[in-house]
């Protein structure tokens, strides 16, 4: 029977353990297999679109690649190829990643690219302030209306952002019975630096001060305004 001295076993075990621990730490925190090329953010319709080319710059497969977009409390995760099962890149493989989220009032976005056994890659984007208030609305209403008479009024919507916008919702509302009209949403698309004029009617049913509200919605952005219209007899 051969006995190995503890003086030999302990140092050998310590070396193996140290190498294993260093390997785990390196793979988990120091490895930078993934790189991002040409990151960009833009507004398309009522969506914020993130684009980037993700490249596996290593000599091994990288698995479990996810992109997490954050804006305050908002957080959305995307698998790079649409599913967890396929979210991997082979050595030297490149992938053109595109993801979109609804337009909202946030300007600053952080993007984290995560993968198993690799250090995360962080990106920051900041949108122009015009993206949170892209539409200027002008409602032309008289100070007085005559009861039971129909009045046609225009609403001018102007796109003051640097992007074409689709699915812009303009919704008038009033208390039931105040007007003869049944109100419904107007949905329009307006190119950048352009305007669109909508026409609606009002026919008041009663005399007095009547409230009328308007909702403007683009993506997750909502703007509300209210007016009080005086209704008189003939």
Q: Give the per-residue pLDDT at 31.
A: 59
Q: Give the per-residue pLDDT at 47.
A: 81
CB of 119 within 8 A of CB of 25? Answer: no
Between the alpha carbon of residue 214 and those of residues 148, 184, 199, 217, the distances in Å are: 22, 11, 14, 10
Q: Where are the alpha helices (DSSP H) in the chain?
A: 6-25
pLDDT in tens, 153-168: 999 999 988 888 888 9
| Domains of the chain as residue ranges with CATH | 35-127 (2.60.40.10), 133-232 (2.60.40.10)
pLDDT in tens, 195-209: 999 999 999 999 999
pTM confidence score: 0.62
Q: Where are the alpha helices (DSSP H) in 61-134?
A: none
CB of 20 within 8 A of CB of 14? Answer: no
pLDDT in tens, 77-91: 998 887 777 788 999
Q: Give the per-residue pLDDT at 6.
A: 52
Q: Give the per-residue pLDDT at 58.
A: 86
Give yes or no for residue 92 having a pLDDT over 50.
yes
């Amino acid at each position: 029977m051969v006995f190995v001295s503890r003086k030999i076993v302990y140092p050998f075990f310590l070396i193996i353990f140290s190498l294993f621990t260093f390997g785990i730490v390196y793979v988990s925190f120091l490895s930078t297999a993934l790189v991002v090329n040409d990151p960009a953010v833009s507004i398309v319709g009522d969506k914020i679109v993130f684009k980037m080319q993700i490249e596996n710059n290593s000599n091994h497969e990288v698995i479990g690649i996810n992109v997490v977009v954050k804006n305050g409390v908002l957080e959305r995760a995307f698998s790079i190829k649409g599913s967890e099962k396929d979210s991997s890149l082979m050595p030297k493989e490149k992938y053109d990643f595109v993801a979109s989220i609804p337009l909202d009032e946030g300007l600053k976005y952080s993007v984290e690219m995560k993968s198993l056994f690799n250090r995360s890659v962080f990106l920051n984007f900041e949108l122009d302030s015009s993206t949170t208030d892209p539409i200027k609305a002008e409602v032309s209403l008289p100070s007085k209306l005559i009861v039971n008479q129909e009045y046609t009024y225009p609403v001018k919507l102007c796109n003051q952002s640097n992007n074409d916008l689709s699915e812009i919702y303009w919704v008038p509302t009033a208390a039931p019975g105040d007007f003869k009209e049944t109100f419904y949403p107007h949905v329009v698309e307006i190119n950048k630096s352009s305007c669109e004029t909508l026409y609606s009617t009002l026919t008041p049913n009663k005399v007095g001060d009547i409230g009328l509200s308007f909702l403007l919605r683009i993506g997750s952005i909502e703007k509300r305004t209210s007016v009080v219209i005086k209704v008189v007899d003939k």
